[in-house]
Chain A
Amino acid sequence: METFDEIYLDLSKQPGKCRFVETGLGWKLGNGDPFTLDAAEFTQAQWSRASRGYEIKVYSRNNAVVQLDGFQQEDFERISKLFKNWYRINLEHKEHALRGWNWGKADFGKAELHFNVQSRPAFSIPYSEVSNTNLAGKNEVAVDFSNPANGDETGTNGHLGGARAKGRKTGAARDQLVEMRFYIPGSTAIKEENGENGDA
């Protein structure tokens, strides 16, 4: 068993205890209800820099994205070893784009939309967090994010120490992302096509 303190689950308000055992992982805040994920559910795992320390991102079979933030850089060896030995999963060290560019390629993955700059993600957005998308203008696509009331609502009824249910992650931030607009060359063609289909 390996235990780590001061870890945030899915951008929870409070940090809790994260525990890895041979059969899976758990997270708990104080005497609250524990969150657990069976190792059989893991499909992929990544290690990368987060706002709060380093993050382990675990993708599960139902395409959910579990984020555990607050690890120390030097925890990597220990954790990648246990992922390999216990779960037979390679904890991939994912480097993110740091160039500060606003151009690249929007790439639609299985569970997330990635914005890649020179083949490295600048950021990723789980589809569970997107509330709406629409063509806002010529070549312009708007993506709206679920915006929980006051940012206080987590969708877990106070369980799991303020960890966030699907569609609530953006509310974790002090400044909450509510909308993102992309310029996608050629996206007017999609609109015209749809229009024609509508007329037919």
Chain B
Amino acid sequence: SLNGTEEKKFKRFESYKRDNQFPPKVKDLAVVVDAKSSTIVLPIMGRPVPFHINTIKNASHTPDGDVTYLRINFLSPGQGVGRKDDQPFEDASAHFIRSLTFKSKDIDRMEEVVKQITELKKNAVRREQEKKQMED
């Protein structure tokens, strides 16, 4: 630790190793929260695309009439809350997906998806903090 500030280090993570590990529900071409793998699987052009909870900043949905818009914001450089962007990245010069928005008629299910993502994120952050305390 330097001058009381500790440099955060990027830790690698991985959603799946093989394509037979996707939850069977991905066949519905809907957003699937796979808590077991700390992953959200999103339908993009007929393909299940995993995003690890560690890449996600937050999720919210905005109802509009009989549909709702689910927006998932991801962590990317240049969006630090304070003056200093202290979020560690493996490669800050890479291209990043910053957000994805999905339109859905299933407002109740999207409400549930937002809750599940928020919960998963909270748990991931808590586990990370507990680990850090043990290391200290």
List residues of chain A with CB under 8 Å of any chain B CB. Answer: 11, 48-53, 55, 67, 69, 73, 95-96, 98-106, 115, 122-126, 129, 138-140, 147, 151, 169-170, 172-185
Q: In the complex, which residues 8-37 of chain B have their Cβ closer than 8 Å to any Cβ of chain A?
A: 13-22, 26-31
Given contacts A138-B78, A173-B29, contact A104 B101 (CB under 8 A): no
Determine if A175 and B52 form an interchain contact, defined as CB atoms under 8 angstroms apart.
no
- B-side interface residues, number (CB < 8 Å): 55
Given contacts A51-B48, A103-B90, A179-B99, contact A174 B104 (CB under 8 A): yes
Q: In the complex, which residues 86-130 of chain B have their Cβ closer than 8 Å to any Cβ of chain A?
A: 89-106, 110
Determine if B74 and A172 form an interchain contact, defined as CB atoms under 8 angstroms apart.
no
List residues of chain B with CB under 8 Å of any chain A CB. Answer: 13-22, 26-31, 39, 42-52, 55, 69-70, 74-78, 89-106, 110
Give A177 Cβ to nearest chain B Cβ, in Å: 6
Contact of B98 among A52, A101, A169, A181 (CB under 8 A): A181
Residues of B within 8 A of A180 (CB): 97, 99-101
Residues of A within 8 A of B43 (CB): 51, 173-175, 177
Given contacts A103-B94, A183-B76, contact A123 B19 (CB under 8 A): no
Give A179 Cβ to nearest chain B Cβ, in Å: 4
Q: A147-B103, A175-B106 are in contact. List 19 more A-B contacts (CB 8 A).
A: A49-B48, A51-B28, A53-B27, A73-B20, A98-B14, A98-B18, A99-B16, A100-B51, A103-B76, A103-B91, A103-B94, A173-B43, A174-B30, A176-B104, A177-B100, A181-B98, A182-B96, A182-B97, A185-B92
